[in-house]
Amino acid sequence: MKSEVLAVLTVLVCSGSCLQCYDRAELLKAKEGIVQCACENNRNCVNNTCWGNYCIYTLVDEVERRGCLPSLEQCHVPDRPGLYCDCCFTNFCNQNSSVPKEDPVEGKYMREILLVAVSLLVLLMVIAAGCLILWLRTKRQRHQLVKDDTSMLKVPIGVDPTYGDIFDEFCTSGSGTGLPYLVQRTMARQISLVECVGKGRYGEVWRGTWMGESVAVKIFSSRDEQSWFRETEIYNTVQLRHENILGFIASDMTSKNSSTQLWLVTHFHELGSLYDFLQYRTLDPESCLCMCLSIASGLVHLHTEILSTQGKPAIAHRDLKSRNILVKRNGQCCIADLGLAVIHSQSNDYLDVGNNPRVGTKRYMAPEVLDESIRVDVFESYKQTDIWALGLVLWEITRRTIVNGIVEEYRPPFFDVVPSDPSFEEMKKVVCVDQYRPSLHNRLHSHPILSAIAKIMKECWFQSPSARLTALRVRKTISKFDQDHDYDIDKLKLDL
């Protein structure tokens, strides 16, 4: 009975600490206990032993103690750093007790293994994310290539704007003079500029909206006023309207930020210039033939003088190149940028070369222009320089035409012999002195269409201007070839 009372009192005075309970138990010296325990570092030990109902081993702040407890409830281990407590109930069971210690070598290896495992997991996640991004990008590019590949797609999804309703509303003749003069003078206030679609030395080209239709607005810089004036003058020529000549709508001047802007408003063709188009598109031979025929047809219309009540003088372009040719949705092209054009009327006996000091593009200049042997007082001389440039444009188109699964990257004429911005002297040496001509790939001779166009190109590049083909002969040759081989050019479309 005495032992039980002492045990109860011990439980009441304990504060939950295993060490405190242990000290109280030793003070009571539970001699009535049934288990003999090892006793160490305790003032109540007798011959390093003691008696109790349970044996205890503690480690507090790296000090080991062993002894006895009367009840199991006193063997409570609080959640406190630096304390370890172990109770047992057989003789001397606490004699060999100790705190389990981590093997330092094994612990080091475990930490290293864990670190390697985490690193590998992170690396795998990064690789997986990279592969996913690469797959998505490849899929998007493949989808874009399929979308952009026009060599196998023929069915049109849209037509070029005709602007017919707009012109009918303003009662124009449709002969090429655009809108009435008074209407043109108010165009800048009626057009909303939407986005800039091109920039160059002359200024900028914007897509605008006018009466629900998209229009192209060419904004000339002030230093290029002569080009704007000349192009306005040319476009106002009667009977200039043709499906392969860029449609003219109006010309106007406006003020913005205290500066004068010179606007030329034309039809809008979303595919942009032939130069831009050939950068990322390829053609099949029939589409190539369609483009070449349309450019030749447009040049024929410019070069031809029409004698009638409202006649049209003959016009030479003087700056024909792929950047000045626009691509229409029906697969044909139209000639643009008449800022350097020359006008000739045989019936009225006059030659108007304009006052624009700007010269043409050096890369497309004919030999007689480069060596300055051109007869500037003869209109035929200017037409012959257009034919030289036409041959170079046809060469650019055929490079991007697929034959037997082979196609070449887009390159400008003479890319292999002159730098990206050649000087006048560099072009003169290549074209006049070396008499170099663009090379033709062997695949062109294996297809009847490309072989015929290659022959036309060579006849456009004769050193002697008088030996070159005329625009009319080029058009007739391509048209006859089309008829002989039963290709329906009118049905060749670009699906976009």
Encode burial over 333-346: b for 16+ CB neighbours within 10 A, e otherwise: bbbbbbbbbbbbbe
What is the rounded distance in angstroms from the CA atom of residue 447 to the CA atom of residue 455?
12
Matching residue, tokens 């047992």:
88
- Any catalytic annotation for residue 319? yes
Q: DSSP string spanning 149-190?
A: --SS----S------HHHHHHTT---SS--S-HHHHTTHHHH
What's the 3-state SS for 227-271? Answer: HHHHHHHHHCCCCCCCCCECCEEEEEEEEECCEEEEEEEEECCCC
For residue 273, the 8-state DSSP code is B
Give the chain's count of helices (H) and strands (E).
14, 15
- Give the 3-state secondary structure of residue 105: helix
> Which tokens in the block code for residue 14?
């304990």
Beta bridge partners of 245: 335
Measured over the CA atoms of residue 383, residue 385, residue 389 and residue 394, the dihedral's sign is positive
> Active-site residue among 252, 319, 386, 482?
319
Q: Which residue blocks in 271-346 are alpha helix, DSSP H?
A: 274-280, 285-303
Which among 492, 441, 145 is positioned nearest to 289, based on CA atoms? Answer: 492
The tokens of 103 are what? Answer: 């093997």
388: closest CA among 471, 325, 287?
Answer: 471
CA torsion 171-177-179-181 (nearest 10°) is: -110
Q: What is the dihedral of CA 273, 275, 276, 277, to 10 degrees?
A: 80
Q: Scanning the structure block, which residue is given the tokens 């062993």?
A: 66
**Residue 203 burial (CB < 10 Å; 0-12/13-18/19+)?**
buried
Strand partners, 375: none
C-beta of residue 458 within 8 angstroms of C-beta of residue 388? no
Token code pair at residue 249: 């709508």
Distance CA 295, CA 390 (A): 8
Residue with tokens 């320089």: 385
The Cα 53–Cα 49 span in angstroms is 13
Tell me which residue of 298, 239, 332 sits closest to 471, measured CA to CA.
Answer: 298
Q: Which active-site residues does the annotation give?
A: 319
